[in-house]
Structure 1
Amino acid sequence: MEHEGGTPAESPAVTKVKDFLNTTCGSILKAWLTQFDVDLDYRVSKIEFVDGMRALGYTAGELHKLFAEIDVDGSGEILLDELDPEQAMLWNTFRSWAVQSFVSIEDMILSLTEEGNPLNLATKDMECVSQESFCRRLPELDWKAGHEEFLFSVLDMDNDGRLRPHCLRWLGIELKRLQRKRAAKAGTVKKKSSGLQQSVLEQELHEFKEDIRRRFGGGNLTRAWRVALSDTSVLPRTRFLKACAKMGYAKKGKDLWKMLDKTGSGFASVDEIDPKTAQVLAHFKKFVDERFNGYHAAFENLDLDGTRKIRLQQFQQGLEKFRFPFHKQAATLFAALDLDENHVIDEDDLHFLEKWSPLPFLTASPNPRAREEVRKLLIHRYGRAVKVWRHLLDRDGSNRCNWHEFLFACKTCGYHGDIPGAWRALDVDLSGYITLKELDAESHGTLMEFRTWALDEFGSAKAAFSVFDRDGSNTLTFQEFRAACKIYGYEGHAKQLFAALDVRGEGSLSLKEVAFLDDWRDDVDEMRKARKAIAGFLLSPISPRSLSASA
């Protein structure tokens, strides 16, 4: 394996150090394992670096200064990646493969001998592997990354052409880490995170809405609301629960209500159960009030043939004639107003809208300038977008902020501009909520990738933290967090991730500052994107996807 030379950004002194390690130890990786990272925690402190260089006889420069030049992020520790990214990648791939392939050090040694048959070996060779056998057996054992001779030279700690159990001490440590991870993941199987529970409730609400849409709405959810729940725009909790009991949802009624009453007010609104239809209705209400100054006059003008019954085609013609801006959605509007589903609208059908006060954003136009004004004000107040999100907009940790929470945040920060327009510029698809992505796409992507990885590898972010926190202190410094990410195979941007989690800027993480990710609602599309990004990482030695992802 060729050693990578210095890059343009590398100082001559650092290049000289790397050349020294290659010359003295044969490779930077071997120097790393034998002289620096002797406890195999994948990070080296300044003291460990200085002691290792002195032990190798380096006298050509001031070691503390050299360490600072290698420690480009100023963390006080260096990683193998900072010395040689290529060899770091190969080592991570090899240890990943080894942990997947062998159950013990003895198993690896036996497997690397002549077809794993001890009868073919002399007694003195029973616990060692020759270079010839190592290089031949690796491909036979499905090692596909090559560089067999280089790897043997790294593992040959005694420099005598033989690998013995102590040369594979790292494998024993990796297998113990595997056991810890499996135990943590097994513990999460019995527990459902609040995020998962919320996702289940969301699915139940979706199924409920589709059921009443089919049974009572003829395909229109707002009509279903009026027929099955309430012929008013607002529905109290008691009436909803009674209606659920009649429809066969007695056991799920309370859970469904939690999803509908997002403010805890005791009331739910048609605005939020069917926001896209509500938008058309709200604009129609505004159109009637402004164009005709009343529902009677509106009906008289839309009843083009004077029959007191307006059919869909006539309704479409009337809306187009009077230039209703949503006239192309006349069929949706007609279905919502046609309570009896008798394919005609009479004047009484319009009175449904009289007492309705639509949420203000339903008739607002997206206002990008107002959106940026709100964003800048919030960030000015809190310093960072992710901090605004965690402390003000997403106080329940669901990664969802609805209109009411957004309105509260704007008022809290003293914004008096076009709040509805700012909201519409954020909630472009009228989903009824925004996520961190709309405020800080980079931090959202970073957190979503880590959340998805932790969920796949450990069962939850909380379980990942428990494994990372080896001393049980409930605290992880940046150095500890970064090293744990490296050990367990998360190769994303650890510094950026740590900053997104450490919103208080204290330089350490507690359990709650990581475990909140378990409360995020599952988003299939976002998790798919995250897994695609993670596929570019070299995954954990204890992940069955490691080699396939890096292939």
Structure 2
Amino acid sequence: MPEGGRRKSALLEEQNQQLKKAKERHALNAALAERGGGLLLRGWRRELDPDGSMDVPYKELDWHLRRLGLELSAKTIVDKDAEEISLEELSPADGHLVNRIRNWIKDAFGSPANMWTVIDVNQAGNLDREGWVAACMSSGFEGTAEELSYLFDFIDIDESGQVNKEEVLFLERDSQERDKAIFEEKMKSRGQMQRLWASVYWSELHKKQSPLSRLAPRPWLATSFESLPPLVIVKRQHRLREVRNRQQEAKTLFLQSLSQKYGSCARAWRRGIDTDGKFCIDKLILRNFCRRHELDTDVHIQSLWSSLDSDKDGKVCLQDVSPLGAVALASFRAWCRQKCGSCRAVWYLEDLVNARSRPQKDGMVQMHSDKKMLICNFTESLKVLGCKCKGDQAEMLSALDFFNAGFISEADLCWLDAWEPPLFLTAQPSEEEWASFKSALLERYGSPLNAWRQLDLDGQNEVSWMEFVAGCRRMRFKGDTGAAWRYIDNDASGYISMEEFSRDHYKVLMSFKQWASGLYGSVASAFKNFDKEGDGTLTLSILRRSCQKGKWDGDPQTLFDCVGASNCKDPSKKLITIDDVSFLDVWPDREERPDEGKEQEDTLTRTTEKEERIVLQSKSAATLDVFSRLYTPRYRKKIAKNIDASPTAYPVEKAAQIQRTYHCCSLPPQRRPKTAQSMLPIMERIHQISAFYREREANS
């Protein structure tokens, strides 16, 4: 065949292939339009391109053709040497329109997610056809309303008449960003659905309906609902709350037992807990003490240790068991060292020597001894010497009175010499030092909450003395750290909270925490319910609207200013994230406290004699006169009790026991006939056996 004929035949064959390709593409377009309800774009996305990549691989196209029932071949539809076919190749006009809106979104907004934030002005979560067209036209789209309406049908593949954010995200050009955005939006929708289910289950669970009611939650559904992440968070918060309550209960029972058995917590520390005089114990010593006194049956040891070891250093000290008593002992020790170098040297001061040289008398007790000194004479001598101690001075005197008999000896003062108290116990409170430290902290970190969280690094709303010192070092504070600490820690508890740092902000935060926990289960769950967009941020308007809808009686403006970033100059651009508020879930619940003044007096009046020591220990020493308190009839009766004595012992017998213990010469001891009760246990047993045999011989 001539060369011209061959060339003509090749051209005819190529034209035939192009005609066949056009016919098959036309047949495919017709099939897609039929599947799309008369629209090619909707059929393309429904049948060939659900992920919005705008192209179909060659291998997948054959499978789609067979699934659609078309007797077509992918080889004919797809160009030679091409691995895929795009929408623009199949329908150039439609592909060009889609590329136009994609480029417009990229240039004007950066991403479809940002575009949705702008066009969804009412934050309804969806737009109808008119709203979509009007929003795009007002945002600067260069096209006609008919084109936007056609694109609306392209986006609304389920023909619901509305489009949402997830359906618009496929217009992202970058495939990786598109897949990531669609996945995140699906997870957000799933999270919103889970929170809805959890909220309904939570509300139905707390209606306290009868189990037989048809509206009551069914037991076989409880496992599925309680495994939802929002309810898992709620259960975790409840466990934390139970742990704190258990710790508080264990500490209260422990201190009550100490006061009941030893008369005071300070004496219990010296006589029962720290018998070696090391002024610190570990967990094993505490456990052994509780077992010896049979406290392990009522007190949870692990919870007790956690409550006493507030700074988590692995040891418990005197100030953890008796805070105000430790303050008084440290203050008295500092005065002794300033006065004459040591506590032992105070024993040999002229005033105390003269007081011991005279006959000492206190009620029925009268003695002549230069080795012991009655508490009343000791306190009177200290008053003459000008000793003024802070803290609970009755706890101090009870710690020095080792035997709970109303006497102090030189050994008691030597015991106090062996103690090296922490700096904050001996420091003088200074409001100026605290004001200087707080102003420096606020100047550096802005808001009070941000400043507090720089001290409270673990987020437990408790800053111990060691954490406070570390914070001062980070700030390079050059003032008196101990004086600043003692001013804010006026109850000598060993730690401070946000309530002591900034009471007003603490009240707002705890009010919001209690409201959010009661309504949504936790603060984090409440934030996610407020965040309808799912972008992890809230504006002031959204927060205010959500709080008003939930009937929170607090001030959203104050809350927003408290937790938000303080370095944002433009208030309209100020946002808060979930990390700004979720820390409140870890904070302990606020404890309701009685008002000061008359309420405290009524509480003191209503307390029993057993509880009086605990109540008085918790009060500030500035409001109590220690000397009048020590020598009231009630307290003197309490001083006369020994921890090993029977509660029905008579004062005369107690006075005689004191005389024998300290070799005093006062009232003549009353002689009693020797009986089995006054002997050793083995002698008591022998006496019973002898009585038995004597009775048996008499009967025989």
Q: TM-score, normalised by structure 2?
A: 0.47
d(CA) in 1 for partners of 2:534 and 2:577?
A: 11
Deviation, 1:387, is 0.5
Name the amino acid aligned to 1:447: L
Asked if the contact 1:241–1:254 (Cα under 8 Å) also holds between the matched residues in 2, the reply is: no
Asked if the contact 1:280–1:333 (Cα under 8 Å) also holds between the matched residues in 2, the reply is: yes
Name the amino acid aligned to 1:288: C
- Residue 281 of structure 2: SS of its match in structure 1? strand
d(CA) in 2 for partners of 1:515 and 1:204?
A: 28
User: Match of 1:230?
Assistant: 274
Superposition pairs of residues 75-474 of structure 1, within 5 angstroms: 181-184=199-202, 187=231, 190-191=235-236, 192=238, 194-195=240-241, 197-215=243-261, 217-218=262-263, 220-231=264-275, 232=277, 233-250=279-296, 252-301=300-349, 302-303=352-353, 304-306=355-357, 307=369, 308-326=371-389, 331-390=394-453, 392-470=454-532, 474=536
Deviations 1:131-187 (A, max 9, x none): xxxxxxxxxxxxxxxxxxxxxxxxxxxxxxxxxxxxxxxxxxxxx999763435663
CA RMSD of aligned residues (A): 3.5
Structure 1 or 2, whichever has the larger Rg, is 2
d(CA) in 2 for partners of 1:239 and 1:439?
A: 35
Deviations 1:460-518 (A, max 9, x none): 32332343344555544444433322322225322321232235768444444322212
Alignment equivalent of 1:517, drawn from 576, 581, 584: 584
Asked if the contact 2:488–2:500 (Cα under 8 Å) also holds between the matched residues in 1, the reply is: yes
Name the amino acid aligned to 1:299: W
d(CA) in 1 for partners of 2:307 and 2:564?
A: 30
Asked if the contact 2:280–2:316 (Cα under 8 Å) also holds between the matched residues in 1, the reply is: yes
Question: Aligned pair in 2 of structure 1 residues 292, 314: CA closer, same or farther (>3 Å)?
Answer: same
d(CA) in 2 for partners of 1:492 and 1:290?
A: 52
d(CA) in 1 for partners of 2:312 and 2:487?
A: 26
User: Match of 2:86?
Assistant: none
Asked if the contact 1:315–1:330 (Cα under 8 Å) also holds between the matched residues in 2, the reply is: no
Deviation, 1:310, is 1.1
User: Match of 1:481?
Assistant: 543
Deviation, 1:330, is 5.0
d(CA) in 1 for partners of 2:443 and 2:414?
A: 46
Name the amino acid aligned to 2:505: S
- Residue 403 of structure 2: SS of its match in structure 1? coil
Deviation, 1:329, is 6.0
Name the amino acid aligned to 1:266: G
Name the amino acid aligned to 1:344: F
Name the amino acid aligned to 2:448: A
d(CA) in 2 for partners of 1:255 and 1:177?
A: 33
Name the amino acid aligned to 1:386: L
Question: Aligned pair in 2 of structure 1 residues 378, 311: CA closer, same or farther (>3 Å)?
Answer: same
Deviations 1:171-218 (A, max 9, x none): xxxxx9997634356636644253553243123212212222212x21
d(CA) in 1 for partners of 2:374 and 2:295?
A: 35
Deviations 1:282-302 (A, max 9, x none): 111112212122333212333
Quick check: 356-365 or 236-245, which moved more?
236-245
Stretches of structure 2 that go unaligned for 5 or more consecutive residues are 1-119, 126-130, 139-193, 206-230, 358-368, 569-573, 597-700
Identical positions, percent? 26
Name the amino acid aligned to 1:230: D
Deviation, 1:322, is 0.9
User: Match of 2:362?
Assistant: none
d(CA) in 2 for partners of 1:254 and 1:445?
A: 31
Asked if the contact 1:270–1:278 (Cα under 8 Å) also holds between the matched residues in 2, the reply is: yes
Question: Aligned pair in 2 of structure 1 residues 286, 38: CA closer, same or farther (>3 Å)?
Answer: closer
Q: TM-score, normalised by structure 1?
A: 0.59
d(CA) in 1 for partners of 2:244 and 2:480?
A: 31
Deviations 1:350-400 (A, max 9, x none): 22212211122222222111111101111222222210111x222222222
Superposition pairs of residues 45-56 of structure 1, within 5 angstroms: none
User: Match of 1:146?
Assistant: none
- Residue 372 of structure 2: SS of its match in structure 1? coil
Deviations 1:264-311 (A, max 9, x none): 322211123211111110111112212122333212333522421111
d(CA) in 1 for partners of 2:197 and 2:390?
A: 63
- Residue 327 of structure 2: SS of its match in structure 1? helix
d(CA) in 2 for partners of 1:515 and 1:197?
A: 19
Asked if the contact 1:199–1:521 (Cα under 8 Å) also holds between the matched residues in 2, the reply is: no
d(CA) in 2 for partners of 1:528 and 1:473?
A: 44
Name the amino acid aligned to 1:183: Y
Name the amino acid aligned to 1:305: R
Question: Aligned pair in 2 of structure 1 residues 504, 196: CA closer, same or farther (>3 Å)?
Answer: farther
Deviations 1:239-280 (A, max 9, x none): 223223333454722222222223332221112321111111
- Residue 300 of structure 1: SS of its match in structure 2? coil
Stretches of structure 1 that go unaligned for 5 or more consecutive residues are 1-35, 42-46, 55-175, 530-551
Name the amino acid aligned to 2:293: M
Asked if the contact 2:448–2:562 (Cα under 8 Å) also holds between the matched residues in 1, the reply is: no
d(CA) in 2 for partners of 1:503 and 1:436?
A: 18
- Residue 525 of structure 1: SS of its match in structure 2? coil
d(CA) in 2 for partners of 1:313 and 1:225?
A: 23
